Chain A
Amino acid sequence: MGATILQAVFSGLALGSIYALVALGFNITHSTTKTFNFGQGEFLVGGAFIGVSAVLLLAGKGLGGALQPAEVTLARYGGGLLLTMALMGLLGVLLYFTAVRPFIGQGGLAWVMSTIGFGIIIQNTALAVWGPSPLVIPSPLGDEVIRIGGAGVLPQEILVLCASVAIMVALDLVMQKTRLGKAVRAVAHSGAAATLMGINVTAIVVLAFVVSSGLAGLAGLLIAPITTASVFMGLTLALKAFSAAILGGLSSPRGCMLGGFLLGLIEALVGLWHAELREISIFLLIILVLVLKPEGLLGRRIAEKV
């Protein structure tokens, strides 16, 4: 029984770290522009496909090739990760200038539609380039199950967990300790005031979109060895990540992380009891949190002065 629960905890943490990473992407753009990229799931898809293709090219194979485990070395995988983040970052700039900036400050919700549309364009481009079949990429760390206390975990799952935690801690440090972080927080607090203080608000906002899209790309390639890169994987993941952000608090990076891990753990532990109740319990919890603490578990209540 102990091993079973431990297994569920491991599985939950591995899942949760992905939700947390994508949720963080929602948090970053929300805090600077009060918008999010509703195409975040498709950015994840784009990242996964670009990443797998990059590894294919680095291994000297064509785009239609199949990767053997020996061909996915850490160096190639790492190279693929960097390339993916760079390209997805660029895509983030494009997203901001075409789909978000024109609508900022307007009362309507035009950006909701335009970011969803942007995501659909990415998804269909991926479909046209790579076709409907999922792309398989073996883990650079191999497929041997590691046993801890009777529970099994894949090396890639440990990598995803460690990488996510490292990135979150690094982002947290940047936000709390550096001038750049202070500038971002200043923009988040009030764009107009930040401008008066001599902060280049546009640059900060663009940076937010670069980081958010880069994170989605990173998450895409990190999970590809576990889920395969599939054109259709984006929506479910993004929905869970968005739920995690709501649960933990959209305005708080730490809250987003907490929300992600909580969601992953609930999924795994409730599944142990009754698989059908997983989604029900997650969304019941979210509704409950929204009623009792609408700003999320770690979110700050913003006092509106009139």
Chain B
Amino acid sequence: MKTLIQRAVKATALAAALAAGAAFAQDIKIGYNADQSASGVAELGIAGRWGFEAAIEDINKAGGIMGRKVVGVVRDDLGTPPKSIQNMTELIDNEKVSAVVGPANSGNALAWLHIPQQKKIPVVVPIATGTEITTRYAKEAQNYLFRVSMVDREQVALLGAYAAKSSKGQKIAILADSTGYGQGGIKDATDILALHGIKPVAVEKYGPKDTDITSQLAKIKAAGADTVIVYGIADGTAQVLRSMEKINYMPTTLGTWGNLSSLLPKMAGTKLAEHLILAASTTEDTNAKTKALGERVRKNFPTLTTFPCAAQSYDSVMLIAAAMKLANSTDGEKVAAALENVTGVEGVIKTYNKPFSKASHEGLDVSDFYLARWKGDAPGRYEDAVTKALTPADLKK
């Protein structure tokens, strides 16, 4: 309903803009395509959208790109691959966007990767973490898929290193949700633990909507695990923590960055949420810029904000803008090539000095990540003897 009205408003705005004629043709369009209404991931997509819009606002305030105004074109993919594909085609063919930011679901990205690749439109993925997104076309003359987000394998590298160092008897278990996300996580985590010479003592699954995970945890407990890597997003992890409390089994619990959603402390309670140690790309307490962006995004979306999605989307747009300036063009082929050469780009997460190269399209990697933990209703950096002892050599991937 809401989106219908929004769409109607947007259509009217578009018609008005078309009537304005020549001035409109000058604008540079950047698309945003992610789930904003249909699944648990929608919250991430909405947070990302506010970051996307904040970046465009800042760019326009600073005079736009090459003196031209930037316009964001937002589409909701409803969390489903068919709709996401349709949105991509529409954004590229009808709206004639010069670049796209999105999506939130890895599955949706994997469904349409070939479209921007064939049509030569650069895409920066701000949320989805599936490892294959940036690697599928890595061998082609120009890969059009870039990412400023965590990458499954990279965040597991950090979690695996911590687990290997902190587990006394090297007894580590993996507990993942039964979606494609969790299943990919099991594979990545098993591979990475193998690099440390560790075989997980138990691998268990749970449904993403399960409210009781005591039976799986009982098996993990019986296997003697003192460390559990939980691969899922916030609502599922909250139920895992609750079930741990029920059976009075509180091993070292490691989680992915999806748990930076404020849903975790809300559902599990602040005390249980603090038990989880998770991988993060950024938290609002990272620096003054993240703090300012956090406050800005919260104005639009006060109840639930997964801040890293907003920060990563913001930085994605900044990198696209820098590449357009460097290429002095909005032509997709030139912009994609320029993305591989941009340097000194001020984002909120960090200053990007040559973040992308021909070989790697990941704007962030394991060296940018750190461990975090919820404290009350805000996540912050987590440090203990183990994190201090971690060396780059421990981060096997």
Contact = CB atoms under 8 A, between A and B. Distances in A.
Interface of A: 3-4, 7-8, 11, 14-15, 64, 66, 69, 124-125, 127-128, 131-134, 136, 138, 143, 145, 147, 151-154, 223, 226-228, 230, 232-233, 236, 268-269, 271-272, 275-276
A152 B245 contact: yes
Contacts of B269: 69, 138, 143
B263 A133 contact: yes
Nearest to B36: A132
Interface string B34-69: 001111101100100000000000000000000000
Contacts of B263: 133-134, 136, 228
Interface size class of B (residues with CB under 8 A): 35 or more
B1 A125 contact: yes
Interface stretch (B122-130, B209-217, B337-345): B209-217
Nearest to A271: B215
Contacts of A134: 40, 235, 263, 267
A8 B247 CA distance: 10
Given A127-B37, A276-B205, A64 B42 contact: no
Given A66-B303, A272-B219, A275-B206, A7 B37 contact: no
B27 interface: no
Contacts of B245: 145, 152
Nearest to B35: A132
Q: Which 4 A-B pairs have the closest CB atoms?
A: A152-B246, A128-B1, A132-B42, A271-B215
A70 B204 CA distance: 35
A7 B43 contact: no
14 contacts: A14-B212, A64-B302, A127-B37, A128-B1, A128-B2, A132-B36, A134-B40, A136-B267, A152-B247, A152-B248, A232-B40, A268-B212, A268-B214, A268-B215
A233 B208 CA distance: 11
Given A133-B263, A133-B303, A145 B246 contact: yes
A232 B215 contact: no
Contact of A11 (B1, B212, B302): B212
Nearest to B219: A272
Contacts of A228: 235, 263, 267
B218 interface: yes
B375 interface: no
A168 B37 CA distance: 37
B115 interface: no
Given A7-B218, A124-B1, A134-B263, A226 B211 contact: yes
B242 interface: yes
Contacts of A14: 212
Given A69-B269, A132-B42, 12 more contacts: A15-B211, A66-B303, A132-B37, A132-B40, A133-B263, A136-B267, A147-B248, A152-B247, A153-B246, A154-B246, A227-B209, A275-B206
Contacts of A3: 247
Contacts of A147: 248
A133 B43 contact: yes
A110 to B, nearest CB: 25
B247 A132 contact: no
A272 B216 CA distance: 6
B1 A275 contact: no
Nearest to B212: A11
B204 A275 contact: yes
Interface in B1-33: 1-2
Nearest to B238: A228
Contacts of B242: 154
A275 B220 CA distance: 12
